[in-house]
Structure 1
Amino acid sequence: MDEQRSTVMVPIGEAQLPADLTLPAQPVGVVLFAHGSGSSRHSPRNVSVARTLNDSGLATVLVDLLTPVEDEVDTRTAELRFDIGLLASRLAGIVDWLATGRPAGDVPIGLFGASTGAAAALVAAASRADRVAAVVSRGGRPDLAGDALAQVRTPTLLLVGGLDEEVIALNEQALAELGEAGELRVIPGATHLFEEPGTLEQVADQAAAWFTAHLSR
Structure 2
Amino acid sequence: MYGISMQLPFDGYHVQGKLTLPVKAQNLIIFSHGHGRSILMPHVHRLALAFQQEGFGTLIFDTLDNHEDIPEESIDIAFLSRGLLTSTQWLHNHSDYHSFNLGYFGSGTGAAAALKAASELGDTIKAVVSISGRLDLVKAELAEVRCPTLLIAGELDFNIVKINQKALSKLNVKKQLAVVSGASHLFEEPDKLNKAAHIAGLWFKKYLAPEKLKSDTDISKKITGLI
What is the TM-score with the length of structure 1 in the denominator? 0.90
Deviations, residues 140-166 of structure 1 (Å, cap 9, x unaligned)? 111211211111121110000011111
Question: Deviation of residue 34 (structure 1)?
Answer: 0.8
Q: Which runs of 4+ in 1 moved over 3 A?
A: 75-81, 101-105
Aligned position for 1:9: 7
Give distance in 1, aligned partners of 2:103 and 2:3: 19
Matched, 1:174 2:172: no
Aligned position for 2:45: 47
Decide whether the 8 Å contact of 1:134 with 1:156 is kept in 2.
Answer: yes
Give distance in 2, aligned partners of 1:109 and 1:102: 14
From 102, 107, 130, give the equivalent of 1:109: 102
Give distance in 2, aligned partners of 1:81 and 1:51: 30
Aligned position for 1:189: 182
Question: Deviation of residue 13 (structure 1)?
Answer: 4.6
Return the structure number with greater relative CO, CA threshold 8 A, min gap 6: 1
What is the TM-score with the length of structure 2 in the denominator? 0.86
Q: How many residues align?
A: 210
Deviates more, 1:101-110 or 1:21-30: 101-110
Decide whether the 8 Å contact of 1:171 with 1:184 is kept in 2.
Answer: yes
Decide whether the 8 Å contact of 2:37 with 2:68 is kept in 1.
Answer: no
Deviates more, 1:76-85 or 1:206-215: 76-85
Aligned position for 2:135: 142
* Matching of residues 60-209 of structure 1 within 5 Å: 60-66=58-64, 71-72=65-66, 74-75=67-68, 78=71, 82-101=75-94, 103-209=96-202
* Matching of residues 23-42 of structure 1 within 5 Å: 23-42=21-40
Deviations, residues 68-118 of structure 1 (Å, cap 9, x unaligned)? xxx32x246558961000001111111111212455451110000001100
Mind listing any 5+ residue stretches in structure 1 that lack a counterpart?
Answer: none
Identity of aligned residues (%): 36
Question: Helix, strand or coil for the counterpart of 1:62?
Answer: strand
RMSD: 1.9
Deviates more, 1:101-110 or 1:205-214: 101-110
Decide whether the 8 Å contact of 1:35 with 1:41 is kept in 2.
Answer: no
Decide whether the 8 Å contact of 2:145 with 2:173 is kept in 1.
Answer: no
